[in-house]
């Protein structure tokens, strides 16, 4: 399946992907309106410093620990292999946050449920916003064997 990959060689640590993610998942049509004066809760996060950095988000593992450990059946792999969250079922136990080896699942802004990258399939972006907004093609969305 096509996944988001990050080439740390080209990641500049500019954090723009975080803002693009937060905007894409804000449901709003304007970035300023969506993000100005707010603390953002992006589903992708840049780790590292100015010298070495890389963005991290859900790997959509084929044998995902988060799906296995989910006590309410809120996490599942859909037919395309995307690990998705059903927030109606999520009870906010955060087991998945503890079990994810990448730290790619995080509480939502109000801490009631969890959130994770769903490849922008669940918002109006149409394609992963972090990929589109990366100024150095460090984040790519592609099939790899």
- By the criterion CB under 8 A, which residues form the site for other proteins? 9-10, 12-16, 18-20, 23, 31-32, 35-37, 50-51, 133, 135-138
Residue 16: CB minimum distance to other proteins, A: 5
Residue 81: CB minimum distance to other proteins, A: 26
Backbone angles phi, psi at 32, to 5 degrees: -65, -45
Contacts of residue 126, Cβ cutoff 8 Å, sequence gap at least 6: 120
* Cβ proximity to other proteins, 67 vs 129, nearer residue: 129
Kindly provide the b/e burial profile for residues 82-109, where b requires at least 16 CB atoms within 10 angstroms of the residue's own CB: bbbbeeeebeeeebbeeebeeebbbebe
* Cβ proximity to other proteins, 74 vs 134, nearer residue: 134
* Cβ proximity to other proteins, 14 vs 56, nearer residue: 14
């Amino acid at each position: 399946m096509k996944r988001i990959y990050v080439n740390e060689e080209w990641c500049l640590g500019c954090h723009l992907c975080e803002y693009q993610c937060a905007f894409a998942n804000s449901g709003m049509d304007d970035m300023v309106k969506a993000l100005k004066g707010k603390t953002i809760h992006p589903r992708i996060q840049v780790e590292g410093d100015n010298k070495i950095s890389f963005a991290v988000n859900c790997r959509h593992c084929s044998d995902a620990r988060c799906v296995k450990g989910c006590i309410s059946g809120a996490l599942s792999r859909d037919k395309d292999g995307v690990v998705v969250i059903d927030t109606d079922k999520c009870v906010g136990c955060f087991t998945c946050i503890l079990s994810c080896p990448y730290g790619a699942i995080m509480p939502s802004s109000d801490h009631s449920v969890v959130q994770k990258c769903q490849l922008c399939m669940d918002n109006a972006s149409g394609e992963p916003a972090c990929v589109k907004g990366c100024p150095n093609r460090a984040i790519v969305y592609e099939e790899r064997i």
